Structure 1
């Protein structure tokens, strides 16, 4: 089998800052935090926690009222990101004949349409209604986003949703990459979306005791991956998508190529549901390098999973030291600014990694002061670096259940 090169021709996201991918990336380079303090009106126990929301997102403006009314929030965020990536790739939304019969969608979401089901509970128990919306199932199903993307864009190939906790969208991108690389289809749209603001979900994460505490004043700086005294992760919502395309197909139609997806590695720790193991992460990192024909010395930047949890961060750094030795690539954890999008995190961070390679700029791990000695021994980026000759980069996603996924990217010389 002849392996095809895989071009990234479209990038799209729904940003907590309200702008496009370039605006989002510029804000990360500036160290700007999107973390805000969330206080709900639920009584007698309101949610009061740091959170990253897309409060300026207008679903009706992005999708039109008829389509928006058929989607839960996670799917609204996902379809809007997919449309943006499709437009960025220069592909028409209207079906263009039989060529799209094999084009497909691979999506990721840990929770799916949980907000639709929570609305049902509220309708039944708080509002004392007798029944829930007849759309509840189609709004809440995990494959709602990819199904609607396939319908709206006329994509007749595979349409699937991967639900693998925090590695969901990284695995979706990796599996889409394999289909294009192996010649099954010339185009795949891949990404993920998440809307974890459901009351029960937020309370469940609080009960796990891995969430950062904060108030109005401290919320923006409360997510501190790799820092001494870090308090934990911050939940976020959003959607992110990439168009993956057979290189020759992209060149033939004159598409702009943002970067190359070169490799994908995935493993399982097979040891514990919530306690990460460095060996599994090491194997995933090395698998991505081998799959992309890359050596450890070729990697100039690594976008870390970096959740700011007490247990997870040192394990990740230990794995990086094992793979890269002393020195190694520049490393940053951008969750410090955009929060943890759970199943959508891998797709959002893949976009960050592609933009780093395209621009030669590396965003920082914000608020990393002082460094936890257990996380020392690598090149942590604490302020943005510009003018970097970046050749290749990795983006890591490590999930509960021990599932690990690493994506390897190459820069494209001469691209803006």
Structure 2
């Protein structure tokens, strides 16, 4: 009786069934008894016959109405589609989007954020709504190529994002190129000019080999010095063009050895200047050191030390071609890696040591008579050398890429030109423009007047 009365009570309220809220399946599961009764509910008075299925879900066909308010008193209802619950999934929802009338003819957006274009990604806001987010640009080395991307993709090491950050493009390759680099053209032209001047000076000294100004202070050392300066200029071409392993190995080592020969020649000249005037005193013990053996020995021994340093460097950790992909955006820098930084600075440090010893030697010879004395010229040349290379070190450490190579080239050209100008141009001037002074008696007279 209890079950029957309950059933009759529910059937008695059939006319108000439309007021019931259809519960979800998981909610109905909490009240199995009520669900069993709902399955049996039927409408008998409506032209439509909605009913509940076996899961207690309301089955019917619904119209989709577009309500358009023309003014405050007038409303227009447009039938723009329908929803049929018993149809297949692809046929349940049908709508004619062309028939819908939107306010101000603008389709409302169901998101609280704009779409994130390619090149950016979504960043969720601190809200519970997933449709609310911010659009942030991809980082430097990342791209996104779809709309509303959740994550950005990183480009390969040899590629870089384009300006829109929606695709990766190949990085440009940079080095001191003969074809495309204006600096390389300038350095090549200056080097060629300096080599030509050095070669003409060497030819002029050989042509006037028997004159007093050429014979002064060992002309053989002057020839060696001029050849070394010319080769130092030619070393510049090892720094130009695309670096490869062999040019990286020869760059600093070849210049280090050649320039050490040049500075060793100056050191030998400085020593001979000092000994020559010490040996002029009667009974001086310095006379036994006169001759060509001492300067040749000084030059060979000092140069041999640099050769040993370079060979050790090349044997343990030689320079090699390297690619710098991180220093510049969108560029791959082709450069030479020194291998052993200690070896690199050992070569430069030894050249500086030779220059310092030469400077000290000529400083001691500064008070000697001026006849055939190159002390002041060697002093100026060593000052130029030291100034250039001391300034080169911080400039070298603070630059990258091809500008680092440009600093090295400038230091080589400036120091070599300093040696050539300070030591040989005064003699060059006498040979070409004052040949009447290129005699022993005249030179002695001129020096005595000073």
TM-score of the two chains, using structure 2 as the length reference: 0.22
**Which structure's CA Rg is the greater one?**
2
Give the helix-richer structure, 1 or 2.
2
Higher relative contact order (CA 8 A, sep 6+): 1
TM-score of the two chains, using structure 1 as the length reference: 0.24
Give the strand-richer structure, 1 or 2.
1
